Amino acid sequence: MSVKIEVIEGGIPHQKIMIGGLVGTLVCLYLTYLNVLTNTEMFAFFGGLAMVIALIWGSHTIKVLCSYGIGTGVPSAGMIAFGSGVIAMVLATKPVFGMAAPIVATVLAALVGFILGYISNNILNMKIPAMVQALTEMAIVGALSLMGFAALMTGGFTFAGLTTGSVSMLGLSISSTANSFIGGALSVAHLLPLHSCWELSQSSTRSTQLSDLAGNRTGCLC
């Protein structure tokens, strides 16, 4: 696993996508707060945009991780992103944090992701140079895309809104928690099959378009 097989070539540099993804997601998440200020619900769609931006960023992170020949670890990367992301995200929606929720989610997810990355690199001996950074980023992506999805459905990012609200989906009334969980899992886990099947040397356009599509599709389901 420690052998670097091929570095990704072409496309936009990862640093740029990472910064753009983080800033774009946070800005879009905060734009949903206009709901509270103007007392409407129509700004909830910014949550969906936040999710799409986070997914594009996540897809590129997975691409970086894949370029080390991780193979069977590709689907796992999405699972660990979802697992660590959902824990950080639910904790960040605590009423104590209030408006700071997206930033708290980012910090918590980064912390969890960093520790998990350290564990897999040093204790489990994966020895992949990009592992710690990639797992940190994936945890943030997981947390923010789930939060964006929650904001898309409930119009905000509070624990009360997430747990007590319910969304009508295909004629069924499903609680928002369950819905954001299912939808988030669908979109985050979607990154993986998309990424296991493409080649490393090609430019990032196709994979980013695919993850864009995955995000849009789950958004439309609501």
Partner 1 sequence: MLAAGAGLAGLFGGAWAAEQGLVVATITGGVGGGLMMAITCMMVNFVYVFGMGIPAASGKVLNDPITGDSQKEFKSQGTEGHGLPFVSFVGGVIGGFLGGAGGTIIYLQLLTLYEATLPAVMSMRPEQVMPIAVAAAGIFAVGLFLVNAVLTAYNITGTIEGPHDPKFKRWPRAIVASAVASALCGFLAILIVAM
Which of 18, 81 has the CB closer to partner 1?
A: 81
Provide the 8-state DSSP code for 4.
Answer: -
CB of 168 to partner 1, least distance (A): 17
Closest CA to 148 of 68, 34, 31: 31
Q: Note the residues at the interface with partner 1 (CB under 8 A).
A: 1, 71-73, 75-77, 79-80, 82-88, 90-91, 94, 96, 108, 112, 115-116, 119-120, 123-126, 159-160, 163-164, 175, 177-178, 181
Which of 37, 96 has the CB closer to partner 1?
A: 96
DSSP string across 93-148:
TSTTTGGGHHHHHHHHHHHHHHHHHHIIIIIS----TTHHHHHHHHHHHHHHHHHH
Closest CA to 106 of 11, 22, 7: 22
Which of 17, 190 has the CB closer to partner 1?
A: 190
CB of 9 to partner 1, least distance (A): 25
CB of 203 to partner 1, least distance (A): 29
Which of 45, 118 has the CB closer to partner 1?
A: 118
- Distance CA(126)–CA(62), nearest Å, equals 16
Which of 20, 161 has the CB closer to partner 1?
A: 161
**CA 79 from chain center: how many Å?**
11
Which of 34, 119 has the CB closer to partner 1?
A: 119
Virtual torsion, Cα 207, 212, 214, 216, nearest 10 deg = -170
Q: Are 144 and 102 in contact (CB under 8 A)?
A: yes
CB of 65 to partner 1, least distance (A): 12
Report the amino acid identity of residue 188: V
CB of 193 to partner 1, least distance (A): 12
CB of 220 to partner 1, least distance (A): 24
